[in-house]
A = this chain, B = another copy of it.
């Protein structure tokens, strides 16, 4: 499992606009090979911003890389820059993660 994560520092008076932008978008992520799940998460509040994070889970890193070169990706990001510059401080910070260990509800471990 590969996790593609972005961290967004959202201006405090733009939280509603930022959330609305995500809620209202059309997403075809699920049509891409290897896509598992997407989550938009709201994190801690800081003095000058509210942290949000988008987590997209893929079977493997390669699936993510293929998506970044696809029309699906270009469509998803066509208006994102314009819209997010009004709500987000600076650029989102990207981090990719690979899974070292998983423990499920039943206590089963997997690497």
Q: Mark A1-44, 1 if CB is under 8 A from B, else 0.
A: 10100000000000000010011000111110001111111111
Q: Are A102 and B43 in contact (CB under 8 A)?
A: no
Q: Does A101 contact B (CB under 8 A)?
A: yes
Q: Are A97 and B27 in contact (CB under 8 A)?
A: no
Chain B CB within 10 A, most for which of A36, A37, A97, A104: A97
Give the distance in Å from the alpha carbon of A43 to the alpha carbon of B81 in the complex: 25
Q: Which of B29, B30, B40, B103 contacts A37 (CB 8 A)?
A: B103
| List of B residues within 8 angstroms of A47 by Cβ | none
Give the distance in Å from the alpha carbon of A44 to the alpha carbon of B22 in the complex: 26
Q: Mark A59-76, 1 if CB is under 8 A from B, else 0.
A: 000000000000000000
Give the distance in Å from the alpha carbon of A40 to the alpha carbon of B97 in the complex: 9
